[in-house]
Amino acid sequence: MTSLPAGVVLDSEPLERPWIAGARRGEDPGPLLQVRRVDEATYVLRQSKRVTYEAPFIPLLLGTKRALLLDTGAVADPLRMPLRATVRVLVDEWVRAHGLDGLELVVAHTHGHGDHTDGDAQFVDLPDATVVGKGREAVREFFGIEPWPDAVVPFDLGGRELLVTGAPGHDARSIFVVDPSRGLMFSGDTAYPGRLFVQDLAALRQTLTRMVELAERTGVETVVGCHIELDARGREHPVGVRFHADETPLPLTVDQLRRLRDLAHAAPADKSGVVRGTPMNLWIGRCVGPGLRSTAAALVRRARGLG
């Protein structure tokens, strides 16, 4: 493979293996961007906690007509986060290996929050690239999700047909993507090992019900979200820390997705607060007290050099 940009590392470990999760004060913070090759046409990238405590995961899916980059992460500056240059190398390598004339790059988003869209500026002037807008109507129109959010629509990458549908609950603009050919679901911030900030509980319940139904119907085995916020014992890492000791694995199973659906349906609809469960804790509404306690815990860890 052509050399990746400085500060970028590539491996082919399984998705459930540990990722680079920051460092204690004084230790090597690791690369800017970790790239994991899931198979010859699928990559998952993680932005370093040294440049963003969010450390989001970014899928790149390749076909013979299009490549789909789902999210651009939390860092706009290409010197601090060489996302565009890395994607360019991976796409160009795929094009050469398969004797293609070129490939359209579609840059879309699991949802519109800044830690998933701030890198858009790196791609707006890239030839043969389309950056999908962040708003709900832009997303609905580009993919043809009509009626929104329930329609499940095909999105053909060329020899690889994905299914895309709306997923409000965490964010009104959210989508999730299923790749039946590989048994993968890309769930954004709706399902991952961490804390689910709930904007609309009723919508979330419907979304999670549909996610389970589609996963069962299409043979999904692995659910890939955009963050890890829990340790191996299921405890939350405080918001804002730049080192996660002993992270839990990234992928979820369909059984865990069912448990998340059941947790959302059991949550009280008439009050805000944290509802704890597995594989996620639901942070419903403002959650001011829990947020302050998490921030305080992060400050203590930083003072001790632990994040």
d(CA 70, CA 107): 6
What per-residue confidence (pLDDT) applies to 217? 98
What per-residue confidence (pLDDT) applies to 286? 85
The answer to whether 165 and 175 have CB atoms below 8 angstroms apart is yes
Single-letter amino acid code for the residue at 228: I
22 bridge partner residues: 243
Span 113-124, pLDDT tens digits: 999 999 999 999
Using alpha carbons, select from 296, 280, 141 the residue that is nearest to residue 204.
280
Single-letter amino acid code for the residue at 107: V
d(CA 21, CA 148): 36
What per-residue confidence (pLDDT) applies to 136? 97
Span 202-222, pLDDT tens digits: 999 999 999 999 999 999 999
What per-residue confidence (pLDDT) applies to 270? 87
d(CA 223, CA 133): 25
d(CA 213, CA 239): 32
> pTM value?
0.96
Per-residue pLDDT of the chain (307 residues; tens, 9 = 90+): 779 999 999 999 999 999 999 998 889 889 999 999 999 999 999 999 999 999 999 999 999 999 999 999 999 999 999 999 999 999 999 999 999 999 999 999 999 999 999 999 999 999 999 999 999 999 999 999 999 999 999 999 999 999 999 999 999 999 999 999 999 999 999 999 999 999 999 999 999 999 999 999 999 999 999 999 999 999 999 999 999 999 999 999 999 999 999 999 999 998 899 999 999 999 999 888 888 888 777 677 876 777 6
Span 12-39, pLDDT tens digits: 999 999 999 999 888 988 999 999 999 9
What per-residue confidence (pLDDT) applies to 98? 96
d(CA 245, CA 291): 20
Please list, in sequence order, all residues whose beta carbon lies within 8 angstroms of the beta carbon of residue 284, skipping any fewer than 6 positions away: 198, 201, 267, 271, 272, 273, 274, 275
